[in-house]
Structure 1
Amino acid sequence: MDWAKHTTVLAAVVAAVGLAVTAWGTLKSAQVADAQLAQSKEQQEDRDRRQIALISFWGEGADDKVVVVVNRSLDPASAWLVAGRLSPANSEDPAAYLSLGVLPPCQRSAFRYDPMVGGTGPVEALLVSDANGKGWVRRVDGTLRGTKSLPGVSALGRGHVPPFVEAVEYTTLEQCGPLG
């Protein structure tokens, strides 16, 4: 019996088992790191959505001709109405972006909007740039998604209500900021 061969074989088996345990540990560590990264991304998205979750809009009155935009957050936000064009001049961009300027914090704004007067179609969405400069699109059905494209980003805060929109009526909200 050659003990040197048996010892070498045993050492090789022990080394192989050691490598397998190390590989398994590394795999588990990578899975934990991936889970932590996914959780971190989810938490960051929740933080990003805090302000925009407090900004909403809807239509009131006959044919939704009164547009109501509410900013329940403690920060101002720049906003645009996104309206369809009645006769798209550019098929790549069938929407018109109508600047509402800065939405004051804790305010409800309401104004008459007649799409036929401005040559645009009905309001399809509200485009908002939050306090961090991140763009968000809230559709009329309430869905919300982030966007990288903002019209006139260099003019944030210098917008104005389109001339075919009648006077804006502002009302201070009694409850403002995150609830709960």
Structure 2
Amino acid sequence: MVAAVSLAVTAWGTFKSAQVANAQLAEVREGSEAEVRAQASRVSMWSEGTDSGKELHIVIANRSPDPVYAFLATLENQTFVPVGNVPPCTRVRIPGVVMSNAFTAEGLDGPQSIRLGFYDSTGRTWLRPLIGKLERASEPFDGPEPDVRMDERQADSTLLIRNPQVAATSSTECG
């Protein structure tokens, strides 16, 4: 009888220890996910202006202390328009006429069908629609290769951020 009670108490103690370990593991996972999303949650996109074509602008804001490589993607991830390296604490305003030209060149059907894609400082790929929540892209992601060359003389006119009509300014909100 004493052995049975002892065994029951040991089993109950083991069960409770396992519950505590599972709770601690869940907390660590939540903390890790928050860390992974920390930079990505500070990168956003929205539209400004009217929906009547060229007056509409897309704004990309990188409020994180690290750069991101951004691109615009169709909702189906079939076509990509590279934005380029967006420095830390920077707001990029892409005029409608620049977007229209890029969309036409790439076969996109307009700004309402796009979402922002970007690579964070650790190389993870993220996607954010104009309206909707941030999501991590599935791996492997068959998107554009980031342009990591530092040569300012590079004549890659396909990067939207290098277009003289695109304005990149310091963001007042950062970090």
TM-score under structure 1 normalisation?
A: 0.75
Counterpart in 2 of 1:69? 60
Counterpart in 1 of 2:46? 58
Note the C-alpha offset of 1:162. 5.4
Segment drifting more, 24-33 vs 93-102: 93-102
Map of 1:158-177 to 2, 5 A cutoff?
A: 160-161=158-159, 167-177=165-175
Relative to structure 1, the CA distance from residue 19 to residue 122 in structure 2 (aligned partners, 3 Å threshold; closer, same or farther) is farther
> Following the alignment from structure 1 to structure 2, what is the Cα–Cα distance between the partners of residues 27 and 105?
48
Give secondary structure in 2 for the equivalent of 1:46: helix
Note the C-alpha offset of 1:131. 0.9
Q: Does 1:132 align with 2:122?
A: yes
> Following the alignment from structure 1 to structure 2, what is the Cα–Cα distance between the partners of residues 79 and 31?
42
Q: Are 2:70 and 2:118, in contact at CA under 8 Å, matched by a contact in 1?
A: yes
**TM-superposition CA deviations, 1:103-139 (whole Å, max 9, x none):** 1111111112113454202343111211111221112
Counterpart in 1 of 2:3? 15
**TM-superposition CA deviations, 1:31-77 (whole Å, max 9, x none):** 11111111111111111111111111111222273111011111001
Q: Are 2:63 and 2:171, in contact at CA under 8 Å, matched by a contact in 1?
A: yes
Report how many aligned residue pairs link the two structures: 155
Please report the RMSD computed on the Cα atoms of aligned residues, expressed in angstroms.
Answer: 2.4
* Superposed structure 1 runs of 4+ greater than 4 Å apart: none
Segment drifting more, 16-25 vs 122-131: 122-131
**Counterpart residue identity of residue 37, structure 1:** L
- 5+ long unaligned stretches in structure 2: 150-155
**Counterpart residue identity of residue 168, structure 2:** Y
- 5+ long unaligned stretches in structure 1: 1-12, 85-92
- Which structure is larger by alpha-carbon Rg, 1 or 2? 1
Give secondary structure in 1 for the equivalent of 2:12: helix
Q: Does 1:28 align with 2:35?
A: no
Q: Name the structure where strand makes up a greater proportion of residues.
A: 1
Counterpart in 1 of 2:143? 151
- Which of 87, 95, 98 pairs up with 2:78? 95
